[in-house]
Amino acid sequence: MAQQTQMERVLARWQRWLDRWPTVEALAAATPADVIRAWQGLGYNRRALALHNAAQQVAAHGWPDDLTDLPGVGRYTADAVACFAFGRDVLPVDVNVRRVSERTGHAFSPAAAQALMDLGKSVCLARVPRCGICPLAGDCPSRGMRFEPLRRQGPFEGSFRQRRAEALRAVLAGREPDDSEAIAALARDGLVEVRDGAVSLPSPAL
């Protein structure tokens, strides 16, 4: 849920999700339509179906040794779950951890994972790091440097992402969307079904 979404938006939704589906088996038994409805407001709806598919795989076959075998799980997410949930000796490298490591030139142990994430988020900032309060500044070769802004995703307003979101909201509300291009994109991602010209949420697999 926290992939590309601020934690402030995630926390309440995460708790409601766990209240409704407290186990992998409970989520696996849910319908795709219910999962999509419960996900609304978090964005990037394909993640909802990936999470649902992953739960079905785990419920049927157990947890894989390599979590990237699960739908929608990349290297970082797999390492974060392994480190924080399973206590494995692995350092999850997100954008904040990578930034601190590259700027300091240090290799850090998995025990420092949470500290590195917090340091990168609040102190070792992307453009203008707060070196004056950084506990690593004394030995950091990048101390006092300023950095060019990284390329960011375009604004949501007026984007095709917004059109997709509006089309999906229309389907959820029982209305027929009038954006065929957005509907086609949603159908390719498995978020809707189009049958005889009618658009609906995906049906459970038989």
Q: What share of the chain in percent tops pLDDT 70? A: 97
Q: Does residue 91 form part of some domain?
A: yes
Q: Do residues 104 and 173 share a domain?
A: no
Q: Does residue 1 form part of some domain?
A: no
Q: Among residues 40, 73, 106, which one ends one of the domains?
A: 73
Q: Which residues have C-beta within 8 Å of that of residue 18, sequence separation ≥ 6?
A: none
Q: Do residues 102 and 51 share a domain?
A: no
Q: Do residues 188 and 136 share a domain?
A: no
- Contact at 8 Å (CB) between 44 and 51? no
Q: Do residues 167 and 181 share a domain?
A: yes
Q: Do residues 61 and 108 share a domain?
A: no
Q: What share of the chain in percent tops pLDDT 90? A: 72
Q: Do residues 69 and 136 share a domain?
A: no
Q: Do residues 189 and 143 share a domain?
A: no
Q: Does residue 206 form part of some domain?
A: no
CATH code (residue 79): 1.10.1670
Q: Among residues 31, 50, 73, which one ends one of the domains?
A: 73
| Structural domains counted in the chain | 3
Question: For the chain, what is the mean pLDDT?
Answer: 91
Q: With a cut of 90, say whether residue 109 has pLDDT above it.
A: yes
Cross-strand pairs, 200: 193
Q: Among residues 73, 107, 124, which one ends one of the domains?
A: 73
**pLDDT number for residue 206:** 45
Q: Does residue 135 form part of some domain?
A: yes
Q: What domain range includes position 96?
A: 74-152
Q: Do residues 169 and 125 share a domain?
A: no
Q: Do residues 94 and 132 share a domain?
A: yes
Q: Which long-range contacts (CB under 8 A, 24 or more apart) does 134-137 make?
A: 136/100, 136/104, 136/106
CATH code (residue 43): 1.10.340.30
Q: Does residue 205 form part of some domain?
A: no
Please give the backbone phi and psi of residue 199, each rounded to the nearest 5 degrees, phi first. -105, 130
Q: Do residues 125 and 186 share a domain?
A: no
**pLDDT number for residue 152:** 66
Helices vs. strands in the chain: H and E counts, helices first: 9, 2
Q: Does residue 2 form part of some domain?
A: no
Q: With a cut of 90, say whether residue 182 has pLDDT above it.
A: yes
Q: Do residues 38 and 83 share a domain?
A: no
Please choose, from the candidates 87, 57, 94, the residue with its C-alpha nearest in 3D space to the C-alpha of residue 72.
57
Query: Tens digits of per-residue pLDDT, 13-34?
Result: 999 999 999 999 999 999 999 9
